[in-house]
Amino acid sequence: MTPRALLSVTDKRGIVEFGQGLVARGFQLVSTGGTAAALRAGGLDVLDVAELTGFPEMLDGRLKTLHPLVHGALLGDVRLPEHREAMTKAGISPIGIVAVNLYAFEQTVSAEHTFEQAIESIDIGGPAMLRAAAKNWANVSVIVDPDDYATVLGAIDDGSLAGRRRGLAAKVFRHTAYYDSVIARYMTEAVGVNPLESETLTVGFRRSQGFRYGENPHQAGAIFTDPLGPRGIAQARLLWGIDPGYNNWLDADGAWELVADLPAIACAITKHGNPCGAAVGKSLGEAYREARAADPVSAFGGVVAMNGVIDAEAAAAMTEKGNKLDVIVGADFTAEALDIFKNRSGWGQEVRLLAAPLPGRGVSLTLRSVRGGVLVQESDEDPGNAWSYPSKIKPTAEQIAGLEFLWRVVPHVKSNAIVVGAGQRLLGVGAGQMNRVQSARLALQQAGEDARGAVLASDAFIPFPDTVEVAAEAGIAAIVQPGGSKKDADVLAVADAAGIAMAFTGARHFRH
């Protein structure tokens, strides 16, 4: 009996060559619609599925392959005498190779579309054939990825195809699970169901890059992109340099998210997961110099992000003597800026230049793994509460501008978080301490004499007067914090005695 191969694909890359290779190896081709037309245009004889089943395509193409003569051919275990007997009685000939890929639902819903177009992009017959063939992997070789065509043909020639079938089947189930996850997520959002209240959370990710290692050399790692989530650093294009690693991506994400929250024209610098510099300037070059001045030691080997197109002036500032950067992220780079980086003596390709879409502001889901599961929450977007000023001394307009700048920065610092700044520039950071007063000491120590007359932000309420006392000793003029502590009155009393203005925001920004 002539072996059969069923080919029905949306992505027609390489399908004609694959069909030619199968015919040359003795297979009869069975196909549908556009795939059959493409194969015939390539000079191949094709048996239409409608001819095989005796049942025409109908319902505007929704019904093509859902037929016992197709699925019996995919599901029949020809190793079993009773299956062979049943198939013979029903006139079912086995199909040994299946190449199917699915309607482009993800591409449809990622572009401008109507809900009806999204529905018509949901493939039914394709996943059914793939799952049937993959379940019957012991008898059927199923291919969902055009990049595997050459491998399959080579395996037919060297007799290794049977040993590859289970791996091909596993790839199919990954593919169909991802496909269904995108549909489920789209439909869940379309009907207005809160995913945090749904009985299951179905989120699929697509691998975009593997790493030499993860956070440490003994850990494997990779980055996957979210097909329906907000755009961000994961969609960045590498314009120059070696591939970023796990830690590079983490710091790049931190810098990119921070600079997206800042007014244009701004620069943010991160190191080991925390900002070490941030500033707004008249140009990106000025913003970088101001941001770096906050902590030039930590900025060495750090990650820089700028919320605009990086030009020659900014590139020149970042390549001045004494600078060394691992990753630079911008909305894009001018040709002149790229030339400056590429020709920087001593840097080579060690600096990675990434062009990324600025993250859109709006609530999305954030996922964080814990052993045995995952924590899910809405992203931390400031609710925009009206601020109150409960201190006797009220902040000046200039101080309020500085406090507002710091209030944009502090959510990006690991809690307990204290940041000190002046104008539109970060001066000091106290991050990740187990008590708030120690974070304040670290931020004020870094700011040094510049703390006199500067302002301070705390990501959560100040629980005891000691933090204000430390700030007063350093010369801080105004503080912004959420408020809401049982000891607010004590904290305000110390602020009033020290002549410090205080603002309450009514919102907390923990970042653990």
User: How deeply is 229 buried, as exposed, middle or buried, from its count of CB atoms within 10 A (0-12, 13-18, 19+)?
Assistant: middle
DSSP secondary structure string for all residues of 394-428: PPPHHHHHHHHHHHHHGGGSPSS-EEEEETTEEEE
Alpha helices in 46-201 (DSSP H): 49-53, 68-75, 81-90, 105-110, 115-120, 125-135, 149-158, 161-190
**Nearest alpha-carbon partner for 233 in 310, 312, 110, 327:** 327
Beta carbons within 8 Å of 320's beta carbon, 6+ residues apart: none
Residue 387 identity (one-letter amino acid): W
Q: Is 135 a catalytic residue?
A: yes
Q: 100 phi and psi, to 5 degrees?
A: -135, 135
**Cα Rg of the chain, angstroms:** 30
Catalytic residue among 12, 67, 171, 272: 272
Alpha helices in 332-386 (DSSP H): 335-342
How many CA atoms are closer than 13 Å to the CA of 244, on its beta-carbon side?
A: 30
Q: Is 113 a catalytic residue?
A: no
Tell me how far apart the 2 most distant CA atoms of the chain are, in Å: 96
Reading the block at residue 179, the tokens are 């496909």
Catalytic residue among 135, 324, 342, 487: 135
**Nearest alpha-carbon partner for 476 in 412, 413, 430, 414:** 430
H/E run at residue 96: none
Sign of the C-alpha dihedral computed for residues 377, 382, 387 and 389 taken in this order: positive
> How far apart, in whole angstroms, are the C-alpha atoms of residue 332 and residue 335?
10
**Nearest alpha-carbon partner for 316 in 293, 294, 341:** 341
Beta carbons within 8 Å of 108's beta carbon, 6+ residues apart: 117, 118, 121
> How far apart, in whole angstroms, are the C-alpha atoms of residue 351 and residue 325?
6
Reading the block at residue 376, the tokens are 């899910």
Distance of CA 92 to the CA centre of its chain: 46
Reading the block at residue 53, the tokens are 């089943």
Residue 201 identity (one-letter amino acid): L
Which residues carry out catalysis?
Answer: 135, 272
